[in-house]
Every structure is written in C-alpha cells, then in structure tokens.
Amino acid sequence: MKPAAWDGVYRDGRDLYTVNRTPGAKVYGETLTTSDGVEYRGWDPFRSKLAAMLLKGAPSDVLGRPRTVLYLGAAHGTTVSHLSDVFPEATIFAVEKSPTSFAPLLALARHRTGLVPILAVAQLPERYQADVGAVDLLYQDVAQRNQAGIFVENARACLVPGGRGLLMLKVRSVTQQRPTATVVREARQTLSAARLNVTYETPLAPFAREHVALAVET
C-alpha cells in the first residue's frame, strides 16, 4: 500500500484505498485490507464518481484540505464515507432528498463523527444555509436537469471565497437530445458567469458513462 497523489488516498497497483475510520465495518460491500497494522477500504470507481475522477488523472490538489464540506446528493453515503476517511477532522454536511436513502445515511453518521446528514432538496439551499454556514468544498452529484444552476446557487449560499467545488455532471439528466459537448459547454458557461473558474474537466467513462466531472475554484 502506497500513498497516492492525493492526500489521504492510497493505492495498491491501480486500486484506490482510504484508511478505514471504523475498522471492521464496510459501508457498501467494499474490500477491506490490512497493511502494516492499518485497515484500508477499497474505493470502487464504478460506485463512486469521486474515485473515478481521481483515477482519470485529477490534479493532486483538486480536493484542497477542507475543514467543511457540503455534499449534495449523498444517497447511502458511499462517496461520503470515503471523504470522511480522507478528511477525518472535517465536518461534512450531506444533503439527500430521498427518505429511503436518508435512513442508511443517518446510520452511517452514528459511527462517523463530523458527518451531518440533512434531509432536503438541493434546489433550496436557503433551507439549510444557516445550519451549514460557509464551506471550503462543495460537491454535487444529483441527477437533475439544472445541475449547473443548482451548483451555482449552493456555491452562492455556502462556498467561501477561495473555496473549491466538484460537479459530477450527468449529461443525460440535462437532455436526451443534445450532444455531450454542448451540455458541458453550457454548464461551463453557467459556472463561469457565476465566477466559478473551471480548473479541471474529465469524462468519467469507463467508470460512469455519460458523466463529466468539473472541478472549480472561486
């Protein structure tokens, strides 16, 4: 097991790992492996778009060193759990709209200090802005038509000046008709108009088809 290019992430060959904050416990059926007395969780890029983005060659500082994170579209907490491994000191506010997904997210938070689940829709940041405050990192993975617009509204509400953001753009949730390149260009324009500068872009294939990751800085 060796440190990878990103702080808090490890690799063994092509495979990514994070240090398990809750030794012995799996979150989504991932592999557990122990090396030099430390337990690591396999980070599956087919289950987590963040792992996919890293494997596609994201720069080493793409995540920064956030003390606070706002994560939109947390689902059961697959990627959230790895973020909480990578940044054990951080507070991670995890927004999810589905009560069905929220239940396992709540259960995850019982064993991971700093993880704060919020049952809400990402289109209405004013509902959680006061609780969340200002965050260093905004992460969004919601299958909605207006994904870039939702990201911008949340950045306006909660992202500190100099903060970073990661938008996992699901192209076919925006349109079934127009080409991927057009959808990505429009998303980039929406971000740029809000002074969110795109620093990195990559398609997530073969891990997630019709998805493009965009990294921004304010």
Q: Which residues bind ligand SAM (CB under 6 A)?
A: 48-49, 72-75, 78-79, 95-98, 101, 121-123, 141-144
Q: Decide: 118 and 92 in contact? Cβ < 8 Å.
A: no
Of the pair 101, 202, the CB lying nearest ligand SAM is at 101
Q: State the minimum distance, in angstroms, from the CB of residue 158 to ligand SAM.
A: 14
How many CB atoms neighbour CB 102 within 10 A?
21
Q: Which residue is nearest to ligand SAM (CB)?
A: 73
How far is residue 50 from each of residues 37, 60, 66, 131, 215, measured CA to CA in Å? 26, 13, 15, 25, 11
Q: What is the number of other CB atoms lying within 10 angstroms of the CB of residue 165?
A: 26
- For ligand SAM, the closer CB: 108 or 216: 108
CA distance 40 to 34: 6
CB of residue 120 to ligand SAM, shortest distance in Å: 7
- Please state the closest distance from residue 143 (CB atom) to ligand SAM, in A: 6
- Residue 57 C-beta: closest distance to ligand SAM, Å: 19
Whole-angstrom distance, CA of residue 158 vs CA of residue 124: 12
Q: Which is nearer to ligand SAM, 4 or 51 (CB)?
A: 51
Between the alpha carbon of residue 127 and those of residues 30, 117, 122, 123, 134, the distances in Å are 34, 14, 9, 9, 14
Q: Which is nearer to ligand SAM, 91 or 147 (CB)?
A: 147
Nearer to ligand SAM (CB atom), residue 35 or residue 175: 175
The least CB distance from residue 36 to ligand SAM, in Å, is: 28
